[in-house]
Amino acid sequence: MNLKLPVYLDYHATTPVDRRVFEAMRPYFSEIFGNAASATHPFGWQAEEAVRQARSQVVQLINASDPKEIVWTSGTTESINLALIGVATVYRDKGNHLITCVTEHRAVLDTMKYLEGKGFRVTYLPVDQNGLVDPDEIRKAITGKTILVSLMAANNEVGTIHPIAEVGKITKEKAIFFHVDGAQSCGKIPIDVQSMGIDLLSMSAHKVYGPKGIGALYIRSRDPHVRVAPLIHGGGHEGGLRAGTLPVQNIVGMGKAFEIAGQGMEEEAIRVMRLRDNLKEGIVKQLDDVFLNGHPTQRLSGNLNLSFLGVKAGDLMMKMRDIAVSSGSACTSGSLEPSYVILALGVGEERARSSIRFGLGRFTTEEEIDFAVEKTVEAVRTLRK
């Protein structure tokens, strides 16, 4: 077995930069180094053209109508803040009510808490035992004061994929804005802002084999035209919505990463799903009291979240030092508290404290899956003794 240790199975936390992405970025560090805002010489023109091409690559993946609808940010967290705070600020005179879900990423939940402190009212909808939000509950929660619904396309912990298109139809009927956190979904499952009725979409590069430190926010320009107040001021970059010199090399990397993801999305999903199913089957055939968290079929192909009753997740990860896994979001991995996402499924604290997230991706191999099965079973048996 030609196996390199440790084995990386935490692709939801971050991904390695694809070699093709790295090669596309390379010239923009020292050869094509101009400022994209320098409009008076070839160095700036080259950089500006690279940024334009990257916008087009992002537009193509999500089926946006205009490259100008893409605003570059430092990552999904900033994109979420810009979308939620930006819309709330502009449309406060139309209403002060926002709707989201209890299993959202902290970037959404903490921003909503911030807006509550500013006088906004937020409804946090529950999920069922599979982690799905009920679109009818969203419809019921909408009032005359509602201005926006925010929902992640795919959950970062349990992989459940929400019925985004169905929710989009509801928000269109009610003439309110729909923001989607696409960090875990863009490049992994089809996301079409037109057919799904998405008005704002937060995106990340490093979740899909691009560089860290770069993300984007799609803002619909017509039907309806969405206005957003900027968070960062100075210089008028990005149509006045996000000031700061553009990191051209990272933008090029995000564009290339999205292009590659769009070209091989279906084939990659099938391959990764097969490996994920082999991992699950290998574990549950040898261990009792192992439970799947999240939807059994309506989930990301690379996500496997399992609870091992009688074992604490922290102890299990310590026993599996040669395998990189997690017990929840990377942003909360240092917390000793059980996952709020698993708790929201209504499965109890024991399952929440014993849950492990395996994240498979583009470079996961069969040998790594076989190794993970062996070491996971061995560690669980040892701890249960």
- Which residues are identified as catalytic? 331
Q: Choose among 253, 270, 188: nearest CA to 216.
A: 253
Q: Choose among 262, 261, 263, 258: nearest CA to 53.
A: 258
3-state secondary structure of 141: helix
Between CA 320 and CA 331 the distance in angstroms is 21
Between CA 211 and CA 215 the distance in angstroms is 9
- How do 215-219 and 70-73 pair as beta strands? antiparallel
Which tokens sit at 72? Answer: 């570059």
Q: Choose among 232, 195, 248, 188: nearest CA to 32.
A: 248
- How do 355-359 and 303-308 pair as beta strands? antiparallel
Task: Write out 314-365 in H/E/C secondary structure.
Answer: HHHHHHCCCEECECCCHHHCCCCCCCHHHHHCCCCHHHHHCEEEEECCCCCC
Between CA 193 and CA 73 the distance in angstroms is 19
Largest CA distance in the chain: 71
